[in-house]
């Protein structure tokens, strides 16, 4: 399918690893002009070695000023950003008894504000220019509560609501705002989450993984590329009438009406 992404300027936050890197690679394969952002300069450089002609910026996106400067740097180098993909930041898994107000706040800084600090200036720039697409990768913990991911899941739920509201608010100005909500995916972040689940249940990590996969009707975790394929579609003109929604990609694990 021709997605019409060739020549588009695409910024992928969290683009040095996991789903973000898969998205950056997929956009590059479509001929887009790709920029990636990560907190770690070393991670940026490692990812750029695998991404032909990608531009990389290191920035801490929990800092609104740093996020704004990162956007300026990308647009000065590549031109106006057509597509923003948010995949940066992850909240630490914390057992319920260890939650404190500080932990909740840290989770929102790590997940919610690492997205909002980029979305807020970008959606306004796109609206002023009359077009653009924002796609956020938002964990399924925002839909289904997990005992070890309450703070991070709440941040994800807030991002889903922000996606719905911003999608409606900016639709008339030519900007689409959508989300993709993956379930278990073969990434380092999921591996860390399984380790936390194993500690809480006092079981081996392999057993935690087996139990988790057993609950997925498709019978396996998603690959990062499968999530990236959905992101590409939503970012393309083929999805031109889709906005304000978050697509669930959980392999049938939570069969509910959304």
Residue 55 has pLDDT above 90, yes or no: yes
Query: Mean pLDDT for the chain?
Result: 92
- In the predicted structure, residue 24 carries a pLDDT above the cut 90: yes
Token pair belonging to 137? 């990768």
Instruction: Give the model's confidence band at 258: pLDDT under 50 very low, under 70 low, under 90 confident, else very high.
Output: low
Q: How many percent of the chain have pLDDT more than 70?
A: 99
How much is the pLDDT for 28? 95
Q: Which residue has the tokens 């590059």?
A: 28
More confident residue, 187 or 27: 27
Q: Does a structural domain hold residue 126?
A: yes
Ranking 11-25, 76-90, 205-219 by mean pLDDT, the lowest is 205-219
Find the range with the poorest average confidence among 96-105, 167-176, 209-218. Answer: 209-218
pLDDT at 161: 97
Direct distance between the N- and C-terminal alpha carbons of the chain, in angstroms, rounded to an integer:
27
Distance between CA atoms of residues 146 and 95, nearest Å: 10
CB 114 within 8 A of CB 61: yes
**What residue has token string 């909500």?**
181
CA–CA distance, 255 with 253 (Å, rounded to integer): 6
Q: Which has more confidence, 137 or 90?
A: 137
Mean pLDDT of 249-255: 84
Task: Provide the whole-model pTM.
Answer: 0.93
Q: Is 194 a domain residue?
A: no
Residue 164 lies in a domain: yes
pLDDT band of 126, cuts 50, 70, 90: very high
- Report if residue 124 sits inside a domain: yes
Domain membership of residue 93 (yes or no) is yes
**Distance (Å, whole) CA 194 – CA 131:** 39
| pLDDT tens profile 144-184 | 888 778 899 999 999 999 999 999 999 999 999 999 999 88
Query: How many structural domains comprise the chain?
Result: 1
Residue 135's H or E segment, with its range, is: strand 132-137
Give the lowest-confidence range in 31-45, 91-105, 122-136. Answer: 91-105
Query: What CATH number does residue 110 fall under?
Result: 3.40.50.720
Which domain covers residue 137, as residue numbers?
A: 9-183+222-248
Whether 25 is covered by a domain: the verdict is: yes
Sign of the dihedral through C-alpha 186, 247, 64, 34: positive
Structural domain includes residue 212 = no
Cα distance between residue 36 and residue 40, in whole Å: 11
Provide the pLDDT for residue 91: 81
Whether 132 maps to a domain, the answer reads: yes
Separation of alpha carbons 54 and 35, rounded Å: 5
Q: Which helix or strand (DSSP H or E) is residue 85 part of?
A: strand 83-86
Region 110-134: mean pLDDT is 97
User: Confidence band (pLDDT; 50, 70, 90) for 93?
Assistant: confident
Three-class DSSP category at 97: helix
Count of C-beta atoms within a 10 Å radius of residue 118:
26
Provide the pLDDT for residue 145: 83
């Amino acid at each position: 399918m021709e997605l019409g992404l060739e020549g588009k300027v695409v910024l992928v936050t969290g683009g040095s690893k996991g789903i973000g890197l898969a998205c950056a690679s997929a956009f590059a394969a479509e001929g887009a002009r790709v920029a990636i952002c990560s907190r770690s300069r070393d991670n940026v450089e490692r990812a750029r070695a695998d991404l032909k002609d990608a531009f990389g910026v290191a920035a801490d996106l929990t800092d609104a000023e740093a996020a704004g400067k990162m956007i300026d740097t990308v647009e000065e180098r590549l031109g106006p950003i057509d597509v923003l993909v948010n995949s940066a930041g992850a909240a630490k898994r914390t057992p319920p008894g260890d939650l404190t107000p500080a932990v909740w706040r840290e989770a929102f800084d790590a997940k919610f504000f690492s997205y909002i600090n980029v979305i807020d200036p970008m959606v306004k720039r796109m609206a002023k220019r009359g077009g653009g697409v924002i796609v956020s990768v938002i964990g399924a913990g925002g839909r289904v509560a997990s005992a070890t991911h309450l703070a991070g899941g709440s941040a994800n739920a807030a991002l889903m609501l922000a996606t719905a509201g911003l999608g409606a608010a900016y639709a008339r100005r030519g900007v689409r705002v959508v989300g993709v909500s993956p379930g278990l995916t073969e990434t380092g972040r999921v591996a860390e989450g399984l380790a936390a689940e194993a500690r809480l249940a006092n079981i081996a990590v392999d057993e935690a993984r087996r139990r988790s996969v057993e609950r997925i009707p498709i019978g396996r975790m998603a690959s990062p590329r499968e999530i990236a394929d959905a992101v590409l579609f939503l970012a393309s003109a083929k999805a031109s009438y889709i906005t304000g929604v978050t697509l669930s990609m959980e392999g049938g694990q939570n069969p509910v009406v959304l």
